[in-house]
Structure 1
Amino acid sequence: MSPQKLTNDDAAARSATATLRQTKGPARLYVGTYTGSGSEGIYTLQIDRLSGALAVPEVAAKTANPTWLIVSPDKRRLYAVSGGDAAAAAYAVDRVSGRLTPASEAYLGDGKPPCHLAIDATAQLLIASHYHHGTVTTIPIQAGGNWPASHGGTLGSPTRVIEHSRLGHPTGPHPTRQDAPHVHSATISPDNRYAYICDLGLDRIYAYALDSEHATLSPAPSFYTATRPGAGPRHATFSRDGRLLLVVGELDSTLTTYTYNSETAALTLVDTQSLLPANFSGENTAAEVRIHPNGRWVYASNRGHDSIATFALDDTRGQLRLLGHTPSGGRSPRHFAICPCGGWLVTANQESNTLCAFAIDQTTGLPSSTPTSTVTVPKPVCVVFSE
């Protein structure tokens, strides 16, 4: 594939990325894992913005199966899925050492931890998605508590549990993965009005209106959008201008764009593209979707093909154009993250126990064909930048 012609905007983006790399020093990452196979919990490490070198990971907090992590808007707190009866755990972030200090947990008592967490823009509401139960739990984030009031961030008792299985909707066509509702994620709109819940089992994207002050959700005027049968919506992200919602279909390995109506929460289908090469015939499940900081490139991960698919996004029309595939550097890239500087993409390869850093070409948007750096982390399934 020949590089695209370099425009003034491209040149400006490359210059901005180079400046961020040079002036901000290393960036910190946190890694969530499955424990029981050598992992001790949440790990932390830094990436050199100039070279892409990953430092040796260190244990930031010992905990069971912290499979999803999210950093608060003010970067002072980290929330993690917690094993056992707890829905989520809150940690204070030491921004120098990267160490995490436990602060509070929100308990459900149902024995099944969630698979995903989302935090609203006001940092008053945490949303937990439960794959096994097909439920959504709302948890208040409180000021004060075990931390100074200026930090806040402790978790209160859940305010509501929404059970999709009681809504009476049919399940999807996949015989094993869509035998019941399976809530996989919550994505909050940039205007902080709605939470979009991907239910893999029902092939639906539900829209709930946010009440941050009372830490709860209620059905939006346009309550749900049906995906195509068997898509299995998993994760989603909004375009940088907030006009588009991009949803990855785990079961049919697709990426779909919808326009977002901020008044009714209605989603209108624009485009759907396969995440796989035309000649691929093996088993695959899609996992994560992320947008580059410049808003022009979209990335999604394939488990089976073990790659990162890169697309150009026409944010005016919402159309996607496949640019290429990059091997993920390991097996089963369940998650990946993009450095805020836009220069690096880091994959979490669950089955090969590796994190890999790739340089992003600032002209084409494509990650480099081979990783710049690789480090070992047991069963990594989530990686986030803490800035």
Structure 2
Amino acid sequence: MADAPAERHVVWVGSYTADLGGTGVGVSRLVLERSAGTIIDGTLFRCNSPAFVAAARAGGPGYAVEERTGLLRTLMVGSAGELECVDARFVGRQPCHVAIDPAGRFLVVSDWHAGGVTFVHLDEGGVPRMGGVVRFPGGGHGSRAHAALVLDDAMIVTTDPGLDRLRVWSVNDAGAVAARGDVDLPTGCRPRHLTQDAQGRVHVLTEQSSEVLTLEPSRRHGLAVIASSPVRANPSPADSPSSITSTIVAGETILHAAVRGSNVLVSLRSNAQGALTIIGETPTGGDEPRDHCLVGDRLFVANRRTNTVGVFDLKQGIPKHAFSIPAGTPASVAAFIP
């Protein structure tokens, strides 16, 4: 399959399969006509319940972690346009997230089962290197790992909702990984997902307390919490925030948080001090928004229980539903404009 032109989107969807009660087939790679939302091309790879997918660039591989088997699969588009697995390796008992180093040198895999964090070093083609897997155990009894964010070589941050903690890592020029310490967060907040804004601040979405904790990174002092903001003005007891992204709209930092339970996308504006103000809520158009991603002025939401990926255009930073893509039990979505 030739690379799609700029007016198209490439979308990777990971779907739960029958082994975990889902109706999906595994991983789908779709090429969408941007204006009409038409699926121009689609390829599938059958695997067992990929809880998370990640992809960074056109022509490069996609990555999927299977929640039940513990496999990390590296997927490429073959000569006939099919998706093929070029590498599969065990990375944990219950992997649930993959983060890609922007420079393409390594992946960070979070393992929910016992909080382990695995670094996977890549070759120039984006394929895991032989002997390039470095595993670190969880942070202690009750530890979980849910997501990772690569700020730069000197700071990689992973969330531990089991211990209400962030773990901080670094990777040197030779690829050696080191644990740099922990950042304790308020008890019971359960940090789930995180993003970085254009000012370099880190925003951590909490699953239990329904907040966004804003942290300032410092090479000397690590990370420090500078603000705490509620996700919703009128939260529901059923709310369970799941994912967060950051973008710039008219020179201002705008965050979008997906909230399960109420099934909304909340738009928040960041001020100079890092505190957030809610500027709007938009229904996700489905049930249980488990994951979402943002590319350009378009946002994609995996509505797990209603078998759709909702596609939204941003209007002054507020999502507006454009169309939906059918997808069996979508767990994760990754997209880019090639």
Take 2:268 and 2:150, find their aligned partners in 1: how far apart are those partners? 22
How far the C-alpha of 1:95 sits from its partner, in A, is: 11
How far the C-alpha of 1:282 sits from its partner, in A, is: 3.0
Provide structure 1 residue ranges, at least 5 long, that are not aligned to the other structure: 1-22, 144-150, 172-179
| Pairing 1:218–2:168 present | no
Alignment match, 1:195: 156
How far the C-alpha of 1:256 sits from its partner, in A, is: 1.5
Take 1:156 and 1:359, find their aligned partners in 2: how far apart are those partners? 41
Does the Cα contact within 8 Å between 2:233 and 2:278 map onto a contact in 1?
Answer: no
Does the Cα contact within 8 Å between 1:76 and 1:95 map onto a contact in 2?
Answer: no
How far the C-alpha of 1:234 sits from its partner, in A, is: 0.8
Does the Cα contact within 8 Å between 2:309 and 2:326 map onto a contact in 1?
Answer: yes
| Pairing 1:156–2:130 present | yes
* Structure 1 residues 228 and 95: alpha-carbon distance in aligned structure 2, compared to 1, 3 A threshold: farther
Alignment match, 1:253: 210
How far the C-alpha of 1:213 sits from its partner, in A, is: 3.1
* Structure 1 residues 152 and 24: alpha-carbon distance in aligned structure 2, compared to 1, 3 A threshold: closer
Alpha-carbon displacement from aligned partner over 1:291-319 (angstroms, at most 9, x marks no partner): 125462110110001000101122x3212
Q: Percent identity?
A: 21
Alignment match, 2:15: 33
Provide structure 2 residue ranges, at least 5 long, that are not aligned to the other structure: none
Aligned residues: 328
How far the C-alpha of 1:139 sits from its partner, in A, is: 1.7
Take 2:42 and 2:162, find their aligned partners in 1: how far apart are those partners? 36
| Pairing 1:142–2:123 present | yes
How far the C-alpha of 1:261 sits from its partner, in A, is: 0.5
Q: 1:82 aligns with which of 66, 74, 86?
A: 66
How far the C-alpha of 1:86 sits from its partner, in A, is: 4.3
Greater radius of gyration (CA): 1
Alignment match, 1:290: 245
Alignment match, 1:17: none
Does the Cα contact within 8 Å between 2:308 and 2:325 map onto a contact in 1?
Answer: yes
- SS in structure 2 opposite 1:372? strand
| Pairing 1:71–2:52 present | no
Correspondence 1:1-387 to 2 at 5 A: 24-36=6-18, 37-51=22-36, 53-55=37-39, 58-72=42-56, 76-83=60-67, 85-93=69-77, 99-108=82-91, 112-143=93-124, 151-157=125-131, 159-166=133-140, 180-189=142-151, 191-211=152-172, 213-214=174-175, 216-220=176-180, 223-242=181-200, 244-264=201-221, 266-278=222-234, 280-292=235-247, 294=249, 296-314=253-271, 316-340=272-296, 342=297, 344-361=298-315, 363=316, 365-368=317-320, 371-387=321-337
Does the Cα contact within 8 Å between 1:291 and 1:298 map onto a contact in 2?
Answer: yes
How far the C-alpha of 1:72 sits from its partner, in A, is: 3.8
Instruction: Flag the structure with higher helix content.
Output: 1
Take 1:284 and 1:152, find their aligned partners in 2: how far apart are those partners? 37
Does the Cα contact within 8 Å between 2:75 and 2:85 map onto a contact in 1?
Answer: yes
Q: Normalising by structure 2, what TM-score?
A: 0.89
Instruction: Extract structure 1 runs of 4+ deviating beyond 4 A.
Output: 83-86, 94-97
* Structure 1 residues 163 and 154: alpha-carbon distance in aligned structure 2, compared to 1, 3 A threshold: closer
- SS in structure 2 opposite 1:229? coil
**What value does the CA root-mean-square deviation take over the aligned residues?**
2.4
